[in-house]
Structure 1
Amino acid sequence: MSLSGCTNVKKKADTTDTWSQIVAKKKVVIGLDDSFVPMGFREKNGKLVGYDIDLAKAVFKLYGITPDFQTIDWSMKETELRNQTIDLIWNGYTKTTSRAKNVAFSDPYLTNEQVLVTKTAQNITSTADMKGKILGLQSGSSGYQAYIDQPKVLKQYVKEAIQYDTFNNAFMDLDVNRIQGLLIDSVYANYYVSHKSDPSSYRTVKTGFASESFVVGMRKGDKTLRKKINRALKILKENGTIDRLNKKWFGTTNTNTN
């Protein structure tokens, strides 16, 4: 696509309100990484489940709209959104200043942080203990961006950083010592480790990166869609739905939701 073509696509994304089209089709397309437990992932039978799956269905049920969940390359999520392949990014999507240049955000609905997961046998208890070691990161993740933007927290110690398409692949390399640490969302780490046969073989280390807010990402032109999602999130918070989902997926209602 030419430069002028790219500019036109971005202008359309920044100015076009697609709510009437979504209502007419009674369908909204949501892009996600379908391996991100517990936010959106495939069970062994292939069924798509997760916190964000349940929340998105509850939000759009209020408007008689059915979410159509599409698996995407997470590193290309903003491009997919801009090109209108998807209508929303909803999958443990973190609000950041760099993303705000191209994406509009819903109100925050969940708090997250970046943690370092290691094997207990490595005796890593701080980011400084990663000195000379190999770190795993997910491509296009907020953790990767924090790692690059704040090098004094972790990057200064690391010998090498390897990027992965999914955290599942990164965990496999962690288990066989190809990497010694994995920078990952706490919601993923807590859920994944707790479901392993030997959770005690993993250690989760605080990093010092600032806490993050999970939001829904959408095109800047979709002002009505943003208002509708924010209204629905408020309703679901007030009627106890969000607390029930927190209990279901995290075992507690205390998740620092906004």
Structure 2
Amino acid sequence: MKKLIAAMLVLLLAGLLVAGCGGADKKKIVVGLDDNFPPMGFRDDKNNIVGFDVDMAKEAAKRLGMEVEFKPIDWNSKEAELSGKRVDMLWNGLTITEKRKENILFTKAYMENRQIIVVAANSPIKTKTDLAGKVVGGQEGSSSIEAIEKDAATMKSFKELKKFGDNVAALMDLKTGRLDAVVVDEIVGRYYIAKKPGEYTIIADNFGSEEYGVGLRKEDKELLAKLQKAMDEMKKDGTSAKISKQWFGDDIVK
């Protein structure tokens, strides 16, 4: 009986070793994203997760020889999802900020973006000064809110700063008149405006520019180096430009 148990343990150990070797050859990256953030990451009419960042992540994972899984998360809890190892990367229009650098390891910036102010097409608001006494919206946990908060004088002039779960909800409230303006990533804002011609206007003023990067855990330096190499190669051989043109009609990759 003891010999049988010993033999079974040997087989079990061998199986684990084989599985371990196989796992080393076939790793998986879990990418955390907001699945309502077009055109960076969102669900199409068949409920598939698609977008510019999704295509970029798929291509990078292929070059790394890894599988990739896209996991929708509460974007307001993104750092907790990353540090808690429920996701391995944040790749979804993630703005590089000094505050986020304290807890997140970033790739080099791959895209530039501005925080634009969107108003209704017939709105009298033309400048940031005109936002005084108005209700302004933005996505909770986003760099849009951070950008507004940095401009303390302008924010203090608002009647109210309303925070939403996603940009879609904020823009819907703008359309119905419950908001006077929405501060949003330019890439996202222009995507929506193009789909709703005549409904919205972008004013000349903005809340500053920023850069997008991919976020990893602070300890994942080796993975960062490999990912950065893959992204650099994608830029060099024109793959990232091709993906960009499919989503934006032009190469806007930095």
Q: Check whether TM > 0.5.
A: yes
Residue in structure 1 matched with residue 14 of structure 2 by the alignment: none
Deviations for 1:114-139, whole angstroms, at most 9, x for unmatched residues? 00111011121111111111001111
Residue in structure 2 matched with residue 98 of structure 1 by the alignment: 99
Conservation of the 8 A alpha-carbon contact between 2:175 and 2:199: no
Provide the secondary structure at the position in 2 that maps to 1:171: helix
Matched, 1:87 2:85: no
Conservation of the 8 A alpha-carbon contact between 2:26 and 2:67: no
Structure 2 counterpart of 1:248, one-letter code: Q
Of stretches 139-148 and 204-213 in structure 1, the one that deviates more from structure 2 is 204-213
| Structure of greater relative contact order (alpha carbons < 8 Å, 6+ residues apart) | 1
Conservation of the 8 A alpha-carbon contact between 2:125 and 2:131: yes
Matched, 1:201 2:202: no
Q: 1:222 aligns with which of 220, 235, 249?
A: 220
Runs of 4+ in 1 over 6 A off after TM superposition: none
Residue in structure 2 matched with residue 173 of structure 1 by the alignment: 173
Q: What value does the CA root-mean-square deviation take over the aligned residues?
A: 1.6
Provide the secondary structure at the position in 1 that maps to 2:116: strand
- Consecutive unaligned residues in structure 1, runs of 5 or more: 1-19
TM-score (norm 2): 0.88
Conservation of the 8 A alpha-carbon contact between 1:127 and 1:157: no
Deviations for 1:127-161, whole angstroms, at most 9, x for unmatched residues? 11111110011110011011112223x31331101
Conservation of the 8 A alpha-carbon contact between 2:109 and 2:213: yes
Matches of 2:22 and 2:108, distance apart in 1: 23
How far residue 27 of structure 1 moved from its aligned partner, in angstroms, is 0.7
How far residue 23 of structure 1 moved from its aligned partner, in angstroms, is 4.8
Per the alignment, do residues 160 and 251 of structure 1 end up closer, same or farther by CA in structure 2, a change over 3 Å counting?
same
How far residue 28 of structure 1 moved from its aligned partner, in angstroms, is 0.4
Conservation of the 8 A alpha-carbon contact between 2:64 and 2:227: no
Deviations for 1:190-214, whole angstroms, at most 9, x for unmatched residues? 1111012xx1221112434331110
Conservation of the 8 A alpha-carbon contact between 1:22 and 1:28: no
Deviations for 1:40-90, whole angstroms, at most 9, x for unmatched residues? 000121011100000000101012211100000000000010010100011
Per the alignment, do residues 181 and 90 of structure 1 end up closer, same or farther by CA in structure 2, a change over 3 Å counting?
same
Residue in structure 1 matched with residue 162 of structure 2 by the alignment: 162
Conservation of the 8 A alpha-carbon contact between 1:107 and 1:215: yes
Matched, 1:35 2:44: no
The 5 A counterparts of 1:16-95 are: 23-95=24-96
How far residue 185 of structure 1 moved from its aligned partner, in angstroms, is 0.1
Matched, 1:243 2:241: yes
Provide the secondary structure at the position in 1 that maps to 2:80: helix
Provide the secondary structure at the position in 1 that maps to 2:92: strand
Structure 2 counterpart of 1:148, one-letter code: E
Matches of 2:108 and 2:44, distance apart in 1: 29
Please state which structure has a larger fraction of its residues in helix.
Answer: 2
Among all aligned residue pairs of Structure 1 and Structure 2, give the percentage whose two residues are the same amino acid: 36
Residue in structure 1 matched with residue 108 of structure 2 by the alignment: 107
Matches of 1:210 and 1:66, distance apart in 2: 36
